[in-house]
Structure 1
Amino acid sequence: MGAFRDALLPVNRDAVDRWCYVHVDQLNLDVGPWRPTPERPRTAVGLVLVETSWKAKQRPYHQQKLALVLTNLRHFALEAQDAGHPVLVLHDDRPYEAVLEDQAASLGPLHAMRWAERETRLALEPLEQRGMLLVEEHGGWLTDRALFDRSVGNKRPWRMDAFYREARKTHNVLLTEDGKPVGGKWSLDAENRLPWDGAVPLPEVPTFPPDAVTLEVVQTVQSTYGHHPGRVTPEDLPASAADAERAWRWALEEAMPWFGPYEDAMTVQHRSLFHTRIATLLNLGRLQPGRVIHDVEHADLALNSKEGFIRQVLGWREFIRHVHDATEGFTDHVNVASSTSSRPAAGWEGDWPDAPPTVDALGDDVPLPPAYWGAKSGLACLDDVTTAVMEDGWTHHIPRLMVLANLGTLIGVRPRELTDWFWAMFIDAYDWVVEPNVLAMGTYATGPLMSTKPYVCGTPYLKRMGDACKDCAFSPSSTCPISELYWAFLARHAPLFEGNIRMAMPMRTLAKRAQAKRNADLRVHAKVVDVLGKGQVLTPEDVKHARAQVPAVEPSPEQ
């Protein structure tokens, strides 16, 4: 910590008029109670930042994620200091609430901005109630609870479309003078479904030469948290405000022009295609959503690229935050009677806090397979994506939903284990991100609360939208087991989908499926669960054998 420690200046506490606590996902000088005023310049506003090893012990966070958060926290501290703020950086091994209670007792009440993470809000709520934290609303969100309630809050199951339209109207985004959507449609999603065809060059993702502060962080992570999954690649860490700006310029100029058409595409040739990769920076506070939406709206881009991006940021990102708040992290207002228990840290070796029982509409109870932690599965689509996650802590949202969550759901993985795996492994993941995206949408664990149907698919979709099948040991037309996993999933949960209009067609197709094939589907599912559960590689021979196997006939009571 030499370079960072040496760069920090001593603080004259008597000169500080207001002390503010800045959490690790609020790293921006232009929002929050630390903004300067004519009466209170930055030199009179002291900032308190906390580095605590306790946080890293709550989950097996990917090493890249730990490095990303820590180097951004330290760079923000130095940037705030350069801007004139007195800055205290506290190093501790206790929970945030213990550290901040001591500081509030010493410095007086700390001003703060409401935390995005529910986990943090619950931990710090007692300090707020005691007046030790003076909390204002988070200035980085673009919508409030009133907008959510006005658009969808009393119309469960919740749907994003009505919320998105109301948010567009409120902020006058992509609207004509008479308040209609530019282009005549609120969503151009139907135009954003091209598979990757190599028609245009793929953008070269920017790198960020690490400075002395980042290199110290990397050394700390590798020496202290080397037992965590993943690796650290320092050149892939945007660490400073300047890095965030460069990342955004790249996204706007190099990625966004072709984002729209290829938004749903996947390829083993490139890990991000034309996705902007800025969720990490938005979720740390480095970039502000209002600014990036404004830049995209006024950029020289095709409308489907503009609308697709804005729907993600102003629509989905804001929507899931409200759903998470409204349900208290899916512990309230969820009409699901069943729940499952899960292993701590989704099975990653170590001493981790227990996982809470979690709602599970499907009642599935398969432990997360070792394939998600890097063991080879034999399925090229899954292995390509898990390799990317183990190496980078990131992949774009289509592999997340249609490979990782889809296969987990088809296999029957415990929703909490899959959710906790996403939470630990993705560099942009927080509770308000992964619980709506994985627990609610990806695994359908909350039932139809916020998605009209399970987001599951068989082999044809993966073959059409990706290219992993080309180098897979399984033939998509003959030996791939994913379609059989799909039909077995529908058969297992058929009663749950009765009356669901959007599931009517696949359920009719299932009803017409020959009984022999349906029996084979269940055997293939059992074989996949068995082989992957042992951390072994699935082979085409495994699938063929499962299909051909004749189940034993139980003797009748009369025999």
Structure 2
Amino acid sequence: MTGPGPVHWLFGDQLGPHFLRPSRDSGLERDTPLLMIEARSVFRRRRFHRAKAHLVLSAMRHRAAELGDRLTYVRADTYREGLARAVGEGPVSVHHPTSYAALRLVRSLPQVTVGPARGFLMAMDDFAAWAEGHRGRRLRQEDFYRWVRRDHDLLMEGDTPAGGRWNLDHDNREPPPREAHTLPVPAPYRPREDEIDEEVRHDLDRWERDGDVSFVGRDGPRVFPATRAEARAALRRFVEHRLPAFGPYEDAMLAADPVMSHSLLSSSLNLGLLDPAECAERAEAAWRADRAPLNSVEGFVRQIAGWREYVWQLYWYFGEGYRDSNALRHTAPLPDWWDTLDADDVRARCLHTVLAQVRDTGWTHHIPRLMVLGSYALQRGWDPAAVTDWFHRSFVDGYDWVMVPNVVGMSQYADGGRMTTKPYTTGGAYVNRMSDLCGPCAYRPGDRTGDHACPYTAGYWTFLHRHRSRLAHNPRTAQAVHGLDRLPDLDELRRQERSRGDAAP
């Protein structure tokens, strides 16, 4: 048990040094005793990916070892039990947690004082003020991104953006190089497991044997950083060796190369091992030193200072009820083959490949998430709350604040357009253009019906038909909806999709 003075409680996603900087509003001083609680109940509530459970526990235990006697590490059934054992009714401070559930918990405890959030670029109050200034207008990510760039002086030349343009997306949409099976870039940083990982794996094995918890996916050698030193090594390798090729191919997919030139830093950022400012600034420094092209650096900075920050802010600004949005009234349950990551049951090569990547590592990059996994779920009308929960459980970088806006708003269009201007779904032609996944597939991207009908092409047109009245009035989808009238096989297409049901494609 800790002493009678104030104690600062660190959650398992608050692991970097920026969470220990002293400040008046956090209740932290240089010698404030620290507390971390490993609550078994977290893993009972959801059937998480085994690799995700391993990474989180490994990161927490590594951080505890680094902090030594300053930190009390409690293994308990619940957070409340762990807190009672560690501090009784003594005073506790905590940084603003990253989920509504955790925030409700800490606010329900009379001895806990909640300070501002850390690990993000903008204060929530500042975002709320900015959003109120846009009342009646869409909260466009592009406008927010420009504000963050100005405020943090990222990729700026005085008052203008570096290179004269804010957005270099047009330069970052190339398909993969022809005939290439992998992108010709150095491999990403990969950590080595140690005795703490061995202990974690032993504990997870025991919990499963005892029937205490259940996981999905595989837990091979850990492939994502669990310490600050590993995360910094991963950032350094990305910036020095992989960032130059990142931009052009950030939307491309290759069957044999799931990581392409992506940074693989999302889990480190979301565990709090890296600060977003250091990631963006290091990438900018590479451009200013002429070691990386501007389009690649801008694309990376946009992911960190634009999209990630935007998602975090919208999670809190839209409120907890946002997660229940279901503007398209999709209610179909997730099939078992999807829920259990049974990639071997899937014939469609793109979906088989991506689902296997998730099964084996708990990760795949943003385009497979959006245009392969999310698009398939959207086309089949699956319950967006169930899809959101699946992404949360199945990805090593998945947290509530990450997945609610990304899935409800971006992927499943369940908010009816509060976050994005159109549903992000397409037929097989997009996958064929941006990948090498369609060539050997049992299905043909151009076929809507018949034995070789691509499930994405067929699903795209049936999705448009099902929501015709809504999408016909959207300027970004109206032309596609009008194309329904030119389909000679629409009735056959609808019968075919009904007969497919929940079967794996």
TM-score after normalising by structure 2: 0.91
Instruction: Tell me the SS of whatever aligns to 1:485.
Output: helix
CA-CA distance at 1:440 after TM superposition: 1.4
- 184, 193, 210: which is aligned to 1:210? 193
Q: Distance in 1 between matches of 2:496 and 2:23?
A: 59
> Contact conserved, 2:171 with 2:295, CA < 8 A, in 1?
yes
Per-residue CA deviation, residues 245-284 of structure 1 (Å, 9 max, x unaligned), is 1111122122211110001001101111011010100000
Match of 1:362 in 2: 328
Structure 2 letter corresponding to 1:459: G
Q: How far apart, CA to CA, are the structure 1 residues paired with 2:162 and 2:236?
A: 24
Asked whether the equivalents of residues 191 and 261 of structure 1 are also in contact (C-alpha less than 8 Å), the reply is yes
Give secondary structure in 1 for the equivalent of 2:216.
Answer: coil
CA contact (8 A) 1:97 1:124 kept: no
* Residue 459 (structure 1) shift: 0.8
Following superposition of structure 1 onto structure 2, how do residues 186-205 of structure 1 map, counting pairs within 5 Å?
186-197=166-177, 198=180, 201-205=184-188
- Inter-partner Cα distance in structure 2 for 1:233 and 1:29: 28
Taking a change above 3 Å as real, the CA distance of residues 156 and 511 of structure 1, as seen in their structure-2 partners, is farther
Aligned counterparts of 2:224 and 2:204: Cα–Cα separation in 1: 13
Q: Distance in 1 between matches of 2:18 and 2:407?
A: 31
1:224 to 197, 201, 207: 207
Report Cα offsets for 1:102-128 as digits up to 9, x if no partner: 54435x21121111122211222112x
Aligned with 2:341 (options 374, 385, 399): 374
Q: Which residue of 2 aligns with 1:240?
A: 227
**Is 2:260 aligned against 1:273?**
yes
User: In the aligned structure 1, how far is the partner of 2:22 from the partner of 2:9?
Assistant: 9
Matches within 5 A, 1:436-447: 436-447=405-416
Note if contact 1:202-1:270 (Cα within 8 Å) is conserved in structure 2. Answer: no
CA contact (8 A) 2:18 2:275 kept: no
Which of residues 485, 506, 528 is equivalent to 2:500? 528
Once the two structures are TM-superposed, the CA of residue 100 in structure 1 deviates from its matched residue by 2.4
Aligned match of 1:383 in 342, 352, 356? 352
Aligned pairs for 1:20-35 within 5 A: 20-32=8-20
- Whichever residue aligns with residue 108 of structure 2, its letter is P
1:52 aligns with 2:43: no
- Contact residue 21 and residue 28 of structure 2 kept, 8 A: no
TM alignment of 1:379-458, pairs within 5 A: 379-458=348-427
**Structure 2 counterpart of 1:497:** 471
Deviation at 1:237, TM superposition (A): 4.0
Equivalent position SS for 1:51:
strand
Where in structure 1 do 4 or more consecutive aligned residues deviate above 6 Å? none
Q: Which sections of structure 1, spanning at least 5 residues, go unmatched?
A: 1-10, 335-357, 533-537, 539-559
What's the offset of the Cα at 1:150? 4.6
Distance 1:115 1:203 in 2: 36
1:434-485 superposed Cα distances (whole Å, 9 cap, x missing partner): 1111121101111111010100000100100111112211122332232121
Whole-Å separation in 2 of the counterparts to 1:101 and 1:137: 24
Aligned to 1:354: none
1:476 to 445, 457, 462: 445
Find 1:148's aligned residue among 113, 127, 142.
127
Which structure 2 residue ranges, 5 or more long, are not aligned? none
Separation in 2 of the partners of 1:182 and 1:49?
A: 42
Instruction: Show the counterpart of 2:307.
Output: 316
Of 301-310 and 25-34, the range deviating more from structure 2: 25-34
- Amino acid in the other structure paired with 1:521: L
Q: Does 1:463 align with 2:463?
A: no
* Cα displacement (A) at 1:41: 6.7
1:89 maps to 2:61:
no
Counterpart position of 1:113: 95
Pairwise CA distance, 1:374: 2.7
Identity of aligned residues (%): 32
The equivalent position to 1:139 in structure 2, one of 114, 118, 125, is 118
Whole-angstrom distance in 1 between the partners of 2:435 and 2:360: 20
Deviations 1:410-433 (A, max 9, x none): 111111111111010000001110
TM-score, normalised on structure 1? 0.82
Structure 2 distance, partners of 1:70, 1:163, is: 34
Give the 3 Å change call, closer, same or farther, for CA 496–104 of structure 1 in structure 2: farther
* 1:152–1:162 contact (8 Å) kept in structure 2: no
Deviation at 1:17, TM superposition (A): 5.0
- Report the AA paired with residue 88 of structure 1: T
- The CA deviation at 1:139 is 2.4
Instruction: Look up the match of 2:318.
Output: 327
How far the C-alpha of 1:40 sits from its partner, in A, is 8.5
Q: For residues 118 and 163 of structure 1, what CA distance do their matches in structure 2 show?
A: 23
SS of the counterpart of 1:403? Answer: helix
Displacement of 1:389 in angstroms is 0.4
Give the aligned partner of residue 506 of structure 1. 480
Is 1:161 the counterpart of 2:142? The answer is: yes
| Secondary structure, aligned partner of 1:470 | coil
User: Equivalent residue for 1:350?
Assistant: none
Aligned length: 483
Change (3 A) 1:216 1:35: farther
Larger radius of gyration: 1
Question: 1:312 is aligned with what amino acid?
Answer: Q
> 1:116 is aligned with what amino acid?
T
